[in-house]
Amino acid sequence: MKKSEFEQWSARATKWSTEYIGSLNDKPVRAQCQPGDIAKLIDVSPPETGESMDSIMDDFEDIIPDGMTNWQHPRFFAYFQSNSAPASMIAEQLATTLAAQCMLWQTSPAATELETCMVDWLRQAVGLPGEFKGVLQDTASSATLAAILTMRERALNWEGNQKGLSGQPRIRIYASSRTHSSIDKAMWIAGLGQDNLVKISTDEQFALKEDELRKAIADDRAAGYLPAGIVVCVGGTSMGATDRVGEVCAIAQEENLYTHVDAAWAGSAMICDELRPMWQGVEAADSLVLNPHKWLGASMECSAHFIKDPETLVKTLAIQPEYLKTHGKDGLVNYSEWGIQLGRRFRALKLWFLMRAYGLDGLRSRIRNHIAWSEKLCKRLRAEPDFQIVTDPILSLFTFRYAPGSSAQSELDELNLRLVNALNDDGRIYLTQSEHEGMRVIRFVTGQFDMEERDVDIAFDAILEIARKL
Ligand SMILES: Cc1ncc(COP(=O)(O)O)c(C=O)c1O
């Protein structure tokens, strides 16, 4: 493709994108293909000579969309949504055109300064105090890994990176049993080991038991371990489990431990004042992650990582070989020193477009609607004699199961798995299953940017119709 043809092909891509967004309602939500269906349509080897853009675009249109799960579909009720509001998509196109590598201020001054401003806009939007600074990581997994590395280095007096972990006391990190697997993975990658993530059980409100936490820390100290930090859960993945943030942070302060709050999904909802009691006490945390790419509407890879004392993060992650030094420019922010990656995309642009195009009020009303519509569906299912609500809505997430008659637990588990699969094969909606207190449950979560109330009504009809045909 010649540079001179850029406009022509970019127009075709825009036309395709516009038609795609406009036709989502009529498509199945989850991809309906089988494993291997797409790979067998792709040439086994790369071409030696260039092909025409016409045939490349034709193949894209013929092969790829039917092999995709449609994450922007208004009836995507599975996992947590990964939104891409139209204004954010435009920003992504522009960022791709600039194709900047935003590792240092010098390599991308506007991207760096916009990032500082956007993280601060977001801080104000969710009501965090001004002392929090931040950075846009690709994902919450990276932010949490950075936080766990910070806990490790802080506990080892900043010597772990240099000396390694051998011969050091065994570091312990604490989290509720309902936290996301990204915390476990961060323990593996940080070299701390799964066994040193101490999982604290939760009470009837699904919050970490503080007494058990205190005891675990005391027992560990007595046994010669080195407690380093606590990961606090706000809006867990399975059913929205949430710790009492203020109380957990108070224990951390007494024990001189670092706290990191995982609010990857629920954090976006904190733009609504009335929802903030959910993370009451969060101002005492050392760091926090929330994903605007989950519920706020920013395109994928936009994870806001707030840190009260960025110096701790930079001391953990900054590395400055000669080629990365920006001589004579001390005091500048180089965001690659605040995360795992060296090379980084221009992420702030999509947040700037998003917040300006919809305004905080527009974003709030979407979140409030999602919560109200999820509650509506929950109420309708509760009224059906053969359905059980297993966990009540936490924000826009609840779990339920189909429980006709008096079947044994194992039969109900199998029946609910069949129901999820049948619903996803049907294509009108997309749901995922989870496990709660030993039983298989179905998760339902609203949050797609452009969904409407009628989408949960369609979900209700589909669930009842398909369940009763099983
Ligand atoms: C509560 C929670 N934390 C962390 C993550 C990991 O997020 P990411 O995909 O941005 O790494 C998820 C993903 O759904 C999550 O639900």
φ, ψ for residue 111, nearest 5 deg: -65, -40
Check whether 322 has a pLDDT greater than 80. no
Determine the Cα–Cα distance for residues 65 and 21; give it in Å rounded to an integer.
12
Which residue out of 233, 237, 395 has the highest number of ligand 1 atoms within 8 Å of its CB and is therefore the one to mutate? 237
Which residue out of 83, 138, 142, 182 has the highest number of ligand 1 atoms within 8 Å of its CB and is therefore the one to mutate? 182
Give residue 309's Cα distance to chain centre.
Answer: 23
Containing 433, the helix (H) or strand (E) segment is strand 432-436
Residue pointed to by tokens 């409030």: 368
Name the β-bridge partners of 104: none
State pLDDT tens for residues 297-319. Answer: 999 999 999 999 999 999 999 88
Burial of 422 (0-12, 13-18, 19+ CB in 10 A): middle
Determine the Cα–Cα distance for residues 431 and 443; give it in Å rounded to an integer.
6
* Dist. CA 266 → ligand 1 center (Å): 10
Atom 7 in ligand 1: residue holding the nearest Cα: 140
pLDDT of residue 328: 57
State pLDDT tens for residues 390-448. Answer: 999 999 999 999 999 877 888 999 999 999 999 999 999 999 999 999 999 999 999 99
pLDDT of residue 142: 98
The string over 369-388, giving b where at least 16 C-beta atoms fall within 10 Å of a residue's C-beta and e elsewhere, is: ebbebbbbbbebbeebeebb
pTM across the whole model: 0.96
- What does pLDDT average to over the chain? 96
Tell me how far CA of residue 226 lies from CA of 179, 197, 229, 260, in angstroms. 21, 12, 10, 17
pLDDT of residue 327: 59
Question: Which residues, judged by CB distance below 6 Å to any ligand atom, belong to the binding site of ligand 1?
Answer: 80, 139-141, 180, 182, 236-237, 262, 264-265, 291, 303
Task: Locate the ligand 1 atom nearest the alpha carbon of residue 139 and give its number.
Answer: 10
Name the β-bridge partners of 436: 439
Determine the Cα–Cα distance for residues 436 and 288; give it in Å rounded to an integer.
26
Cα angle, residue 451 at apex, residues 443 and 400 outer, rounded to 5°? 15
Domain 101-345: which topology? Aspartate Aminotransferase; domain 2 (3.40.640)
Containing 287, the helix (H) or strand (E) segment is strand 287-290
Confidence at 321, pLDDT banded by 50, 70, 90: confident
Contact 134/190 with Cβ under 8 angstroms? no
Structure token digits, residue 126 = 């969710």
Confidence at 329, pLDDT banded by 50, 70, 90: low
pLDDT of residue 447: 97
Neighbours of 131 (CB within 10 A): 11
Strand-strand pairing, 397-402 and 439-445: antiparallel
Atom 16 in ligand 1: residue holding the nearest Cα: 237
Q: Strand (E) positions, 177-250?
A: 197-200, 226-233
Q: In what order do the strands lie in the sheet with 397-402?
A: 387-394, 397-402, 439-445, 432-436
Structure token digits, residue 209 = 């038991």
What single string gives the DSSP state of each residue in 79-115?
A: SS-----HHHHHHHHHHHHHT---SSTTT-HHHHHHH
Task: Locate the ligand 1 atom nearest the alpha carbon of residue 293 and give its number.
Answer: 10
Domain parsing of the chain, residue ranges: 101-345
* Dist. CA 445 → ligand 1 center (Å): 14
Closest CA to 152 of 162, 137, 139: 162
pLDDT of residue 409: 84
State pLDDT tens for residues 17-44. Answer: 999 999 999 999 999 999 999 999 999 9
Which residue out of 142, 239, 291 has the highest number of ligand 1 atoms within 8 Å of its CB and is therefore the one to mutate? 291
Q: What average pLDDT score do residues 2-27 get?
A: 96
Cα angle, residue 183 at apex, residues 178 and 185 outer, rounded to 5°? 125
Containing 436, the helix (H) or strand (E) segment is strand 432-436
